[in-house]
Amino acid sequence: MSNATHTAHPAAVPPSAAGAAVPARRSWWSLVREDVQCVLQRDPAARNLLEVWTIYPGVQALALYRLAHAGWQRGWRYGPRWLSFMARWLTNVDIHPAARIGARLFIDHGACVVIGETAEIGNDVTLYHGVTLGGTTWRAGKRHPTLGNEVVVGSGAKILGPITVGDRARVAANSVVIEPVPAGATVVGIPGRVVATRRTTTHGFDLSHHLIPDPVGKAIACLLDRVAQLERQLAHVQGTATAGAAAHSAACGGCDDQCAEPTFDRSRSLLTTSTEE
């Protein structure tokens, strides 16, 4: 098994490295050993090599994928597909043997991760559970995404189609990405929108998911501030600006989710009536 080899295809290298020389063939053992070591570096819950080798499904899925991929490169088809099927049954991670994956991929938790046939992944990428690198067409050819180096994809995110996610980009949890992502950007939402440019980190990998911006919340806050401003201007023009109206406008400007608008009060009363009935 350790004699199986794996060739890092140029497309598996991040887009910024396109045109570089093709890396030398590497043994199955050297690649899997790096996969194991990267878990110890990125997962504080990993305490020792025994744990990582025996109870980390992401590592086991990658080990079987790299073996299946070596067979796929030799022109075998059924054997690698059968091996990937068994890997999915054992680990709940579905990686097509034709996918091109770089070194030190970390699949955290490993549950329900899907990597399609023409997907390409660079080095030092991190995928959380529920990630899908899927296609958007039934036609043969390139139909799955390409991820650059050091990309972090949050849990439940879907990256669909033959698009490119640049180096060091971050995809927020549960986002659906259907457009190319520039290097170093942060993508949030459905469909995914770029909400932040490159961030710096002192730990090598930016895993601070709690610092990802909320574009929808920001947009709503801006709209509420604008509505409050327009109400104040209208009241001033009509000469009906009272202390109560001013207080109400100030409250809307700093919305605390306790809105007293008539429509909200009416909805609340209807809900109470239906509950009592």
Mean predicted lDDT score pLDDT of the chain: 79
| Contacts of 156 by beta carbon, 8 Å cutoff, 6+ apart | 128, 129, 130, 131, 173, 174
pLDDT of residue 271: 44
Q: What is the C-alpha to C-alpha distance for residues 237 and 235, in angstroms, rounded to an integer?
A: 5
| 100, pLDDT greater than 70 | yes
pLDDT at 182: 92
Contact 194, 172 (CB under 8 A): no
Task: Look at residue 18 in the predicted model and tell me its pLDDT.
Answer: 41
Q: For residue 2, is pLDDT > 80? A: no
Q: Is the pLDDT of residue 159 over 50?
A: yes
Confidence of residue 261 (pLDDT cuts 50, 70, 90): very low
Please give the model's pTM, rounded to 2 decimal places: 0.67
Round to the nearest angstrom and report the end-to-end CA distance of the chain: 69
Residue 132 reports pLDDT greater than 90: yes
pLDDT category at 106 given cuts 50, 70, 90 is: very high
Over 90: is that where the pLDDT of 97 sits?
yes
Mean pLDDT (whole number) for 164-170: 93
Which pLDDT tens digit goes with each residue over 211-229? 666 667 777 878 888 888 8
Q: Between 274 and 31, name the one with better pLDDT.
A: 31
CA 4 to CA 69: how far, in whole Å?
Answer: 9
Please compute the mean of the pLDDT values over residues 121-131 and round it to a whole number.
94
Question: Is residue 75 predicted with pLDDT exceeding 70?
Answer: yes
Q: Is the pLDDT of residue 237 over 70?
A: yes
Does residue 84 carry a pLDDT above 80?
Answer: yes
For the residues 151-177, what does the mean pLDDT come to?
93
Name the token pair of 231. 């109400």
